[in-house]
């Protein structure tokens, strides 16, 4: 359609944000110069559609739609209720643990349809987030937060037709999940009328991928596991006609267990239904991401850890014949890069490569250990050692990816050696290593971290009287378990936002690794130090720290604690700078070399 200059100016100004307020990790509230139906109102979401001047926004948990900037708003939902019913946006659990975004709606490619989630938190217990500063009496915010074993949000998936009379249709879950608690973990449109949906049971060990048009279900691919299934947000890559798609699935590779490899699912060829599954890759390495499918050349592009779990290289594999694959970045000697990310153009003719690599690694048994040495390192000197423990199960701390943070100052300026280990429970080394921690968080992963420290203190240049550890989130839990399991190994330690009782943590996370809690469940054990905590964190509450401090006082432990009032789990820039400065000073003081005083001249002469 023809857009005038005045329309263009309106398009530019319509979604101008002038107030932002962070809600959770991804979500925020904002005031806009429009839309006109809710002028100067605070919106939970606003964005352009995929065609023309389409506009969508979420106000008071309901979805509104405008076909163009001059048309009136059409309210697509009316059930929205603050803190209870969420239309098109995620509640806390879905934002943090399931979708990893606050956006819970998806446009069809032609803009004629919109798929969206409706999350009903009526039965979910509320958690209070206190606000202490800036007022005479502290206030608190209530929000639904399901803990382990508590009621979860009820999820439904709808598709609304936006052209002509609006018609809303519910996409039904598979029969095996209809009467069971479940999650919707991924929605992706394949064509104008077909969409793919991944459904998962609450225990997160059964996953079903359905391919549906907007009126009937078509086909399905099902995964199941006695443990838990990872990569449930992964979007399949489809052929243009939707009859073939590619997905990474766990495939058994001999004694090393299962690794994620590419499977090609073909529903039909030339009108003939075949429902065939072919595996395009194999080996003791993981496909980390499928980039694109080029039907003209029969090439599928992907990133993998082939060669080393700490690396990422770009490969192509043929989807015909014997499926030969080729590394496209391994011979880029001029780049001197071992860790790539990649973006491919819509025509599959050009690729943008992002080099992100770093340095210095060792292998500790079969597990990768990264050690960062001071620039003036000498094996004739003695150094303090700081072990960093960060990231949740399935994460990766050791890779060739470049990164700088507060601990880099200790390495470069204070002659401290910093180490990281990817122990059992970490990702990209196969499912066997990942699943070692199933129903036993804080056991073998703690043992590996302690064993790594005991291995490193045998180095002649490590001062075994100057050993420290730091952990954040799940890493803080591991840090506390390490202190509990050792005697005088560490000179000092700090735990930032630690989890101390898994029954108090989010249902989707705790149940994924530990199962549903039972009465007197040892898997959900309580942890009986310097502790950094934000009092208004939405995911790891101050309740964990309160339980920890109570027990520290009970046993007469020497501890100190630093708090950040009215801050969430992710600190503001000012608080983050303060935290980094405090951490640096704390470990600088703890790990500094103690110089023995020299005898004065008079005492030497008398002798």
CATH code, domain with 431 = 3.40.50.1820
DSSP-derived secondary structure for 490-523: -SEEEEES---BGGGSBHHHHHHHH-S--TT-GG
pLDDT value at residue 40:
62
pLDDT value at residue 574:
92
Per residue in 163-196, is it b (16+ CB within 10 Å) or e — as a string?
Answer: eeeeeeeebebbeebeeeebbbbbbbbbeebbbb
Q: Tell me which residue of 202, 244, 209 sits closest to 223, measured CA to CA.
A: 209
For residue 158, tell me if it sits in a domain: yes
Residues 340 and 382 in one domain: no
For residue 222, tell me if it sits in a domain: no
What tokens were used for 208? 């079903």
Q: With beta carbons less than 8 A apart as the criterion, state whether 449 and 478 touch.
A: yes
User: What does the longest C-alpha to C-alpha distance in the chain come to?
Assistant: 105
Residues 40 and 167 in one domain: yes
For residue 247, tell me if it sits in a domain: yes
Last residue of a domain, one of 141, 171, 201: 171
pLDDT value at residue 202:
96
Domain of residue 316: give its range.
236-359
DSSP-derived secondary structure for 230-283: --TTPPPEE-TTSSEEEEEEEEE-GGG-EEEEEEEEEEEETTEEEEEEEE---S
For residue 112, tell me if it sits in a domain: yes
Residues 510 and 537 in one domain: yes
pLDDT value at residue 4:
45
- The residue assigned the tokens 């249902």 is 507
Q: pLDDT by residue (tens digit) across 489-518?
A: 999 999 888 888 899 899 999 999 999 988
Using CB atoms within 10 Å of the CB of residue 70, give its burial: 0 to 12 exposed, 13 to 18 middle, 19+ buried. Answer: exposed
Residues 439 and 582 in one domain: yes
For residue 419, tell me if it sits in a domain: yes
Residues 353 and 390 in one domain: no
What is the tally of structural domains in the chain? Answer: 3
Q: With beta carbons less than 8 A apart as the criterion, state whether 162 and 65 touch.
A: yes
Last residue of a domain, one of 306, 338, 359: 359
pLDDT value at residue 430:
92
Residues 306 and 432 in one domain: no
pLDDT value at residue 237:
94
For residue 604, tell me if it sits in a domain: no
Sheet containing 287-294: order of strands:
287-294, 299-304, 313-318, 325-327
pLDDT by 10-residue block (mean), the chain, 607 residues: 44 58 84 60 88 91 90 92 97 96 96 96 92 84 93 96 85 90 95 92 92 65 75 91 91 88 86 82 96 96 94 95 94 76 89 72 68 92 95 90 91 95 94 93 94 94 96 92 90 88 92 87 62 56 79 79 81 90 94 74 52
Residues 26 and 77 in one domain: yes
Residues 407 and 518 in one domain: yes
Degrees, nearest 5: CA angle 520-526-529: 170
Q: pLDDT by residue (tens digit) across 131-190?
A: 888 888 888 889 999 999 999 999 999 999 998 777 888 999 988 899 999 999 999 999
Residues 377 and 332 in one domain: no
For residue 502, tell me if it sits in a domain: yes
Residues 355 and 373 in one domain: no
For residue 242, tell me if it sits in a domain: yes
Residues 283 and 390 in one domain: no
Last residue of a domain, one of 171, 192, 212: 171
Looking up residue 76, the CATH number of its domain turns out to be 2.140.10.30
Residues 309 and 404 in one domain: no
Looking up residue 309, the CATH number of its domain turns out to be 2.120.10.30
> What's the rounded Cα separation, in Å, for the pair 354 and 352?
7
**Does the predicted TM-score (pTM) go above 0.75?**
yes
């Amino acid at each position: 359609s023809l857009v005038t200059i005045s329309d263009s100016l309106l398009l530019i100004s319509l979604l101008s944000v002038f107030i932002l307020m962070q809600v959770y990790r991804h979500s925020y509230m904002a005031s806009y110069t429009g839309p006109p139906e809710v002028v100067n109102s605070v919106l939970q979401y606003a964005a352009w559609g995929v065609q023309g001047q389409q506009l969508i926004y979420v106000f008071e948990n309901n979805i509104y739609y405008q076909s163009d900037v001059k048309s009136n708003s059409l309210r697509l939902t009316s059930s929205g209720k603050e803190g209870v019913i969420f239309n098109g946006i995620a509640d806390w659990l879905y934002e943090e643990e399931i979708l990893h975004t606050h956006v819970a709606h998806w446009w069809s490619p032609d803009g004629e349809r919109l798929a969206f989630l409706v999350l009903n938190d009526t039965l979910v217990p509320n958690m209070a987030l206190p606000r202490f500063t800036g007022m005479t009496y502290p206030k608190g915010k209530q929000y639904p937060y399901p803990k382990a074993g508590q009621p979860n949000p009820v999820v439904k998936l709808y598709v609304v037709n936006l052209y002509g009379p609006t018609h809303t249709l519910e996409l039904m879950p598979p029969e095996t999940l209809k009467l069971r608690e479940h999650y919707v973990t991924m929605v992706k449109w394949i064509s104008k009328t077909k969409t793919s949906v991944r459904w998962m049971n609450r225990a997160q060990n059964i996953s079903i991928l359905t391919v549906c048009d907007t009126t009937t279900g078509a086909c399905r691919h099902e995964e199941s596991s006695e443990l838990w299934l990872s990569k449930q947000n992964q979007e399949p890559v489809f052929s243009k006609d939707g009859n073939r798609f590619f997905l990474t699935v766990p495939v058994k590779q001999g004694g090393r267990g299962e690794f994620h490899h590419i499977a090609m699912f073909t529903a039909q060829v030339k009108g003939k239904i075949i429902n065939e599954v072919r595996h395009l890759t194999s080996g003791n390495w993981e496909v980390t991401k499928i980039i694109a499918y080029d039907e003209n050349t029969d090439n599928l592009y992907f990133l993998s850890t082939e060669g080393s779990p700490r690396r990422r290289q770009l490969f192509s594999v043929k989807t015909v014949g014997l499926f030969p694959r080729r590394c496209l970045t391994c011979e880029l000697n001029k780049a001197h890069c071992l860790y790539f990310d990649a973006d491919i153009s819509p025509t599959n003719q050009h690729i943008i490569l992002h080099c992100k690599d770093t340095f210095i690694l060792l292998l500790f048994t079969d597990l990768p250990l990264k050690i960062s040495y001071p620039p003036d390192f000498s094996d004739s000197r003695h150094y303090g050692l700081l072990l960093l423990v960060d990231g949740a199960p399935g994460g990766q701390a050791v890779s060739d990816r470049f990164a700088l943070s507060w601990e880099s100052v200790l390495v470069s300026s204070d002659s401290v050696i910093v180490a990281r280990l990817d122990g059992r429970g970490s990702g990209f080394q196969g499912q066997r290593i990942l699943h070692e921690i199933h129903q036993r968080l804080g056991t073998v992963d703690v043992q590996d971290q302690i064993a790594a420290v005991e291995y490193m203190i045998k180095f002649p240049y490590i001062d075994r009287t100057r050993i420290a550890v730091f952990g954040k989130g799940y890493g803080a839990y591991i840090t506390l378990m390490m202190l509990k399991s050792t005697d005088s190994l560490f000179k000092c330690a700090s735990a930032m936002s630690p989890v101390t009782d898994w029954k108090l943590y989010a249902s989707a996370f705790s149940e994924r690794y530990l199962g549903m809690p039972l009465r007197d469940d040892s898997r959900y054990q309580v942890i009986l130090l310097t502790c950094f905590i934000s009092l208004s964190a939405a995911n790891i509450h101050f309740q964990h720290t309160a339980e920890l401090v109570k027990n520290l006082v009970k046993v007469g432990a020497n501890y100190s604690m630093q708090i950040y009032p009215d801050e969430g789990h992710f600190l503001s820039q000012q608080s983050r700078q303060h935290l980094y400065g405090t951490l640096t000073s704390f470990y600088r003081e703890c790990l500094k070399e103690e110089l023995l005083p020299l005898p004065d001249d008079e005492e030497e002469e008398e002798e």
